[in-house]
Amino acid sequence: MNKPARVAVTGAAGQISYSLLFRIASGQLLGKDQPVILSLLEVNVEAALRALDGVVMELADCAFPLLVGVEKHTDAQACFDAVDYAFLVGARPRKAGMERKDLLEANAQIFSVQGKALDAAASRSVKVVVVGNPANTNCMIAQRNAPSLAPECFSAMTRLDHNRAAAQLAARAGAEVKDIANIIIWGNHSSTQFPDLAHATVSGRPALDLIDSDWYEVEMIPAVQQRGAAIISARGSSSAASAASAAIDHMHDWIFGTAADRYVSMAVVSQGEYEIEKGLVYSYPCTCQDGKYQVVERLKTSDFARTKMKETEDELKQERDGVASLLP
Ligand code: NAD
Ligand code: LMR
């Protein structure tokens, strides 16, 4: 058996974690030969800690053979001690009628503290995915507060949007999700994101040859942009199981690699690719190999695409300017 991997999950008593933790512990993240220690973080509030106790009891009751340790923490630095992987989920979710960026005031501080804690304590090759909203800007805050970690250690999750777009395209084209490749989510995990089908294929055929442009531009793009709000309206609370599933997909592909000629959407620290401002955490098409992601560069972009890519970049700049005091 391998040495146990240390996996941190914040917001461990919350809705997303209630799905995520059990999937990690059962081997769906790291495989059937990899023991896992879960290092869980919650706020130091009685109700949250009671709920966390219950989650830990249920983890024990599953008798997962790969789960060799569970730690409960209220201190971020203790939680992140030597962690190999960190899922930063803990943050307030939005309610109906809010945009995700309305959460910045409530959530941004969390990521400043946790960035510093990762910097001090995590493995030097830690892989971090920020799920808590607004995910891109929270990720930027964490990354900027962790100067001794490489920017490539940090990412934010747009895989849920990517999966949503794949499911919608498959349904429209009468195909299966496994036949869909190379969807791109550009930019922010927000209603300005740009779900781009220009490079997508269905069983190897260009997606845009199989669907009408009206459906793509008038129905599908807004539906993906607004899917989070649609779920809040239907469920009364934000997506949880699908978010956990996307977080597993994101981290799994980052660790084990993407399939040949397939890209995934990951929000990562921009190095200026596609003329997006350096330092923003922007969702790009990525491939992963040997535990590293690479932005897919030099894809052709239409005027339509460039306008949309710029719109979502502008929103990220506004969010960044609003949290300037948290960006060393
Ligand atoms: P939730 O309210 O059910 O759970 C959040 C948990 O985080 C709570 O238990 C809370 O006590 C805890 N928490 C708050 N501050 C913390 C801190 N500083 N340290 C540790 N724990 C802390 O919410 P949820 O449904 O699990 O959603 C969590 C976040 O994920 C929200 O911000 C939500 O908007 C976001 N989200 C993102 C995506 C995405 O695609 N990126 C998808 C779904 C949800
Ligand atoms: C989602 O996309 O489902 C999450 O970001 C939750 C939300 O607030 O929409």
- Quick one: how far is CA 191 from the chain centroid? 16
Report the pLDDT value the prediction gives residue 242, as an integer from 0 to 100: 98
- Quick one: how far is CA 202 from the chain centroid? 24
The structure's pTM equals: 0.98
Pocket of ligand 1 contains residue 183 by CB under 6 Å: no
Confidence of residue 179 (pLDDT cuts 50, 70, 90): very high
With a cut of 90, say whether residue 105 has pLDDT above it.
no
Report pLDDT digits (tens) over 263-310.
999 999 999 999 999 999 999 999 999 999 999 999 999 999 999 999
Which listed ligand is nearest to 136 at the C-alpha?
1
Residue 297 Cα to ligand 2 midpoint, Å, equals 28
Report pLDDT digits (tens) over 218-272.
999 999 999 999 999 999 999 999 999 999 999 999 999 999 889 999 999 999 9
pLDDT, averaged across the chain: 97
In the chain, pLDDT over 70 holds for what percent of residues? 100
Residue 133 Cα to ligand 1 midpoint, Å, equals 8
Pocket of ligand 1 contains residue 14 by CB under 6 Å: yes
Q: Which position among 73, 162, 189, 252 bears the catalytic label?
A: 189
Report the pLDDT value the prediction gives residue 175, as an integer from 0 to 100: 98
Residues near ligand 2 (Cβ within 6 A): 93-94, 100, 133, 160, 228-229, 231, 238-239
Report the pLDDT value the prediction gives residue 101, as an integer from 0 to 100: 87
Write the DSSP symbol of residue 211.
Answer: S
Pocket of ligand 1 contains residue 41 by CB under 6 Å: yes
Q: Of all protein residues, whose CA lies closest to atom 2 belonging to ligand 2?
A: 228
With a cut of 90, say whether residue 1 has pLDDT above it.
no
Beta 292-295 vs 281-289: how paired, if at all?
Answer: antiparallel
Report the pLDDT value the prediction gives residue 76, as an integer from 0 to 100: 98
Q: What is the DSSP string of 212-267?
A: -HHIIIIIIHHHHHTHHHHHHHHHSS---HHHHHHHHHHHHHHHH-PPTT--EEEE
Task: Work out which ligand 1 atom sits closest to the CA atom of 189.
Answer: 41
Q: Look up 189 and say whether it is catalytic.
A: yes
Sole residue written with tokens 């922010």: 188
Confidence of residue 147 (pLDDT cuts 50, 70, 90): very high
In the chain, pLDDT over 90 holds for what percent of residues? 98
Report the pLDDT value the prediction gives residue 54, as an integer from 0 to 100: 98
Pocket of ligand 1 contains residue 187 by CB under 6 Å: no
Residue 53 Cα to ligand 1 midpoint, Å, equals 17
Q: Of all protein residues, whose CA lies closest to atom 35 belonging to ligand 1?
A: 132
The one-letter code for the residue type at 93 is P
Which listed ligand is nearest to 241 at the C-alpha?
1
Residue 294 backbone dihedrals phi, psi, to 5 degrees: -135, 130
Residue 21 Cα to ligand 1 midpoint, Å, equals 13
Contact between 30 and 255 (Cβ < 8 Å): yes
Pocket of ligand 1 contains residue 94 by CB under 6 Å: yes
Write the DSSP symbol of residue 298.
Answer: -
Q: 290's torsion region: left (phi>0), alpha (psi -120 to 50) or beta?
A: left
Residue 247 Cα to ligand 2 midpoint, Å, equals 13
- Give the closest residue to 320 by CA, choosing from 148, 186, 151, 134: 134
Residue 202, classed as helix, strand or coil, is: strand
Buried b (16+ CB within 10 A) or exposed e, 1-35: eeebbbbbbbbbbbbbbbbbbbbbbebebbeeeeb
Rounded average pLDDT over 184-207: 98
- Give the closest residue to 89 by CA, choosing from 55, 127, 49, 40: 40
Report the pLDDT value the prediction gives residue 258, as an integer from 0 to 100: 98
